[in-house]
Amino acid sequence: MLFNSLQFLIFLPIVVGLYYLLPHKFRWVLIFVASCYFYMAFVPKYILILFLIILIDYFSALAIERSQSKAKLAYLVGSLTANVLLLCFFKYFNFLNENLLGVFSLFGKEFHPINLDIILPIGLSFHTFQSMSYTIEVYRGKQKAEKHIGYFANYVLFFPQMVAGPIERYETLGNALKVEQKPLYQNLSDGFKLILYGLFIKMTIADNIAPFVNQIYSDPLKYSSSEVLAAVFLFSFQIYADFFGYSTIALGCAKLFGINIMDNFKTPYLAKSVSEFWTRWHISLSTWFRDYLYIPLGGNRVKLSRWAFNILVVFTVSGLWHGANWTFVVWGALHGVMLLLEKYFSLIFKFKIKEKWSVLNAALTLKTFVITSFIWIFFRAENFEKAKNVIKAIVKNHSIQPSDLTLTLPLIFAGLLILFDFFLYNSRIDKQLNSLKMTYRWAIYTVLIFCLFALSGTQKFTFIYFQF
Amino acid sequence: MFKKIAIKIVFLLLILTGLNYIYDATLFKTDLEEKCEQVVEIRNSQNKTDIFYFAESSNFNSRETDSIKNSISEITNLFFPNLKITAINKPASHAGIFKQWLTQINLGVEKPKAIVVTLNLRSFDAAWIHSRLETPLQESMVLTKPFPNIVNRFLLSLQAFDNKTEKQRDMDMLLDWETKQLKFPFDFKYKTVRQWDNAMSQGSYLKPDGSWDDAKITLACHYVKGYAFNINDDNPRVKDFDEIASWCNKNKINLYLNLLAENVEYADSLVGKELVFLMRENRDYLVKRYSKNNCVVVDNLEKVPGIEFTDQNWTTEHYGYRGRMIVAKNLANALKKQFENKYKKAY
């Protein structure tokens, strides 16, 4: 069930209403049933994979808590291996086969890959990472193992964030699901604001930009340099609006249940460097990699060369996490390389910017946006050939006349997104709206509602991050 | 808290009402033109129309070699030069779409004197009911739903219509072919479309050199899939046409069900008399069911010779000029009773 569907807009108020009507002791059952129903609306049988993850990590955590040293580690390794294997089987099996085939043929050897007709279960990368963080925390002694399997299941399954995050820690989401929440006006009001804004971002902005970008990316060589360049920049806005929209709706839905989940975005395109970008983009994934990969590798408390290695490993793995394709790996690795280059230049040119807004800041922000936009080419293109064609078209297609594709509407919506980002700088829509006078607040509601109802895209585009 | 929420909801509804006026005045017409130009045509032409002619692709296809390209509705209009017949066409349309077009006629302005609804037998079969074209057809009708226009626009963005995937539709179609039992008053070895289709595909036709005539086999199979079914009261298209008939009856507008000609000759020669039997049975069902009140069924089923069909290697209701003239003349004869003094012999 998609957030931007009528089913969901009917489903959500029913579940929220029932949640507050039910006595606390039964609420976990409602969340569990609702989450299963929500997930099964995609591909019903894949719920079994989630149940398997829940069972593995629930019992592993209990075993880890009861055990000592080596056995404890063995249970953790067992649990992590099971999770990673599940992920690999569904996400990377065919990818691995394709690559083995390539390697074998390179050496003139025969290889007969088994190609499985597998559809990647929606959000599998998110569930496994969320569940893995729990067992790791239990192993580290920072989290007590959950005795109630229902509560643990809800931590993995909680429908507002189950398919595309934010990747929550048990400490916040798991524990919040256990607390008896009261129906507070402020929570409901904030939840509504977040959902409204999230839907606006996704349906009005992302879905109006998507047709233009898809058209250009389908055959970039046919279009003029300026059009392809526009598509490259517009994709930056599309993916941001798409994923930020989803995350904001997720935040709003959780808020309706009185639960605060983490902000996944903080105006990332206003970042002045690539490293800052990663503190503002997909924050829950960045912090996951920081806590469970970067720091265990030694983080920055190592020699410079080792630190550079750590950075490259983290970003490459992060790329691979997104999809079973070398383009994603390159996308991740390029971010790592850019981060290292930034570090290198910052060591050479030492300067500090004090003012919040200045020409230099604006230039740095623009530079970061241009860099990330170009790196997105590898994320968006289905393969290297396509990515190459995009770059080739930008460089060589100056003589081609622009096609009849209309750029105006996508550009207006991208501009609107930038405006809202300035408005939300280091804050969030519900907080910003609450700080305004009532008249301004309702004026913004009116604009959002009109854009959402009358100007949203009319083609079906699922959330981009659902594929991961 | 509840009072506060109620006040906010009322406020939001007021805003939405205001925004609906703005949307109506600004963007609605463009959206409607983009998504469903037929509805705009109905609205724009209502004042100057005597007869609405609702049709699918049969009304805008002609043979390449035709020197006269006039559509069936245009030819019909030649018999009634003083009447204005307005054709509203959309490919793959069926009774389910036409019934929604009807609701766009503003009865408060001026009622049309008659409505002609063109249907073909195949539009009642599983392949058409579960056609992949159904999704865009349904999408095109969202803006005409009986809600405020801005709400309809939002429903369009939410894709809140019969929006099954192509795969789902194919599965539904295959299921119907596999499970729906064919009824004959005599013994017939094939009980379902699938069985019949399988049998046809097992090489009923051979070329003179002894090899399989694949083109002929494909066409025969296609005829089986297109016409092997029994129309009954549960057929969704029957239910849709029931609504059309009842709407016309309620609003005292004469209705003409223009049942199109099918290539019965080829059905007979390619598949056999059993298929022709089903085609005639289905025609008889429709004639019997709808020849009452103010509805007239114009039966063209066997009127057009096989050679007059423009697609000789497929099942369509696209005719060459002579075929279109036959259907138009038959329809004009039916309309003559209502518009006797307007009739003029054109051919």
A80-139 residue pLDDT tens? 999 999 998 888 888 888 888 888 888 888 777 777 777 778 888 999 999 999 999 999
Q: Which of residues 21-40 of B touch A (CB under 8 A)?
A: 22-23, 27, 35
* Rounded-to-integer distance, Cα B62 and Cα B72, Å: 10
pLDDT, tens only, A420-451: 999 998 889 999 999 999 999 999 999 999 99
* Rounded-to-integer distance, Cα A307 and Cα A297, Å: 9
Write a three-state SS string for A378-397: HHHCCCHHHHHHHHHHHHHH
The verdict on a CB contact (< 8 Å) between B150 and A453 is yes
Contact A194, A251 (CB under 8 A): yes
What's the mean per-residue pLDDT of chain B? 91
How distant is the Cα of A160 from the closest Cα of chain B, in angstroms?
18
3-state SS assignment for residue B118:
strand
How distant is the Cα of B172 from the closest Cα of chain A, in angstroms?
17
pLDDT, tens only, A301-328: 888 889 999 999 999 999 999 988 899 9
* Rounded-to-integer distance, Cα A55 and Cα A72, Å: 17
Contact A370, A274 (CB under 8 A): no
Question: Would the pLDDT of B209 be above 80?
Answer: no
Place of tokens 């991050």: A465
CB atoms within 10 A of CB B79: 22
3-state SS assignment for residue A166:
coil
Percentage of chain A surpassing pLDDT 90?
Answer: 72
Average pLDDT of the residues in A172-200: 93
Given its phi and psi angles, is residue B242 left (phi above 0), alpha (psi -120 to 50 degrees) or beta?
A: alpha
How distant is the Cα of B1 from the closest Cα of chain A, in angstroms?
6
Given its phi and psi angles, is residue B210 left (phi above 0), alpha (psi -120 to 50 degrees) or beta?
A: left
Average pLDDT of the residues in A352-360: 70
Average pLDDT of the residues in A317-342: 93
Q: Which of residues 219-238 of B touch A (CB under 8 A)?
A: none
Using pLDDT thresholds of 50, 70 and 90, give the confidence band for residue A356. low
Least confident of A69-73, A345-349, B5-9, B115-119: A345-349
Using pLDDT thresholds of 50, 70 and 90, give the confidence band for residue B203. low
Contact B331, B256 (CB under 8 A): yes
Contact B323, B261 (CB under 8 A): yes
Residues of A with CB below 8 A from B152's CB?
none
The verdict on a CB contact (< 8 Å) between B150 and A4 is no
**Which of A6, A185, A207 minimises the CB distance to B1?**
A185
Average pLDDT of the residues in A336-358: 79
The verdict on a CB contact (< 8 Å) between A445 and B4 is no
**Per CB distance under 8 Å, which residues of A are interface residues toward B?**
4-6, 9, 183-185, 188-189, 203, 207, 442, 445-446, 449-450, 452-458, 460
CB neighbour class for B43 (10 Å; exposed up to 12, middle 13-18, buried from 19): middle
* Rounded-to-integer distance, Cα B226 and Cα B240, Å: 20
CB atoms within 10 A of CB B132: 15
Distance of CA A143 to the CA centre of its chain: 25
A322 counts as catalytic = yes
CB neighbour class for B127 (10 Å; exposed up to 12, middle 13-18, buried from 19): buried
How distant is the Cα of B164 from the closest Cα of chain A, in angstroms?
12
How distant is the Cα of A137 from the closest Cα of chain B, in angstroms?
39
Q: In 3D, which of A328, A116, A161 has the Cα closest to residue A239?
A: A328
- How, if at all, do strands B85-89 and B51-55 pair? parallel
Active-site residue, selected from the candidate residues A127, A322, A335, A398:
A322
Q: In 3D, which of B142, B144, B154 has the Cα closest to residue B20?
A: B154
Which residue has better confidence, B232 or A347?
A: B232
* Total beta-carbon pairs less than 8 A apart between chain A and chain B: 59
pLDDT, tens only, B181-195: 999 999 998 999 999
Q: Please tell me what DSSP assigns to residue A292.
A: I
Which of B21, B23, B157, B164 to mutate to probe the A interface, most A CBs <10 Å? Answer: B157
The verdict on a CB contact (< 8 Å) between A446 and B5 is no
* Rounded-to-integer distance, Cα B101 and Cα B141, Å: 9
Phi, psi of A333 (to 5 degrees): -60, -40
Return the structure tokens found at B274: 């059993």
pLDDT, tens only, A269-283: 999 999 999 999 999
Interface membership of B154 toward A (CB under 8 Å): yes
Query: Amino acid letter at B129?
Result: I
Residues of A with CB below 8 A from B23's CB?
450, 453-454
CB neighbour class for B42 (10 Å; exposed up to 12, middle 13-18, buried from 19): buried
* Rounded-to-integer distance, Cα B129 and Cα B149, Å: 28
Say yes or no: ipTM exceeds 0.90. Answer: no
CB neighbour class for B226 (10 Å; exposed up to 12, middle 13-18, buried from 19): buried
**Which of B4, B16, B159 minimises the CB distance to A185?**
B4
Question: Would the pLDDT of B96 be above 70?
Answer: yes
Question: Would the pLDDT of A162 be above 90?
Answer: no
Q: Tell me which H or E stretch contains B89.
A: strand B85-89
Question: Would the pLDDT of A168 be above 80?
Answer: yes
The verdict on a CB contact (< 8 Å) between A442 and B1 is no
Using pLDDT thresholds of 50, 70 and 90, give the confidence band for residue A357. low
**Which of B16, B22, B158 minimises the CB distance to A5?**
B158
Which of B155, B158, B168 to mutate to probe the A interface, most A CBs <10 Å? Answer: B158
The predicted pLDDT at position A353 comes to: 61
Query: Amino acid letter at B75?
Result: I
Average pLDDT of the residues in A153-171: 91
* Rounded-to-integer distance, Cα B98 and Cα B90, Å: 10
pLDDT, tens only, A383-429: 999 999 999 999 988 888 887 788 888 999 999 999 999 999 888 99
How distant is the Cα of B262 from the closest Cα of chain A, in angstroms?
36
From A3, which residue of chain B is nearest by alpha-carbon distance? B158
The verdict on a CB contact (< 8 Å) between A185 and B23 is no
The verdict on a CB contact (< 8 Å) between B156 and A458 is yes
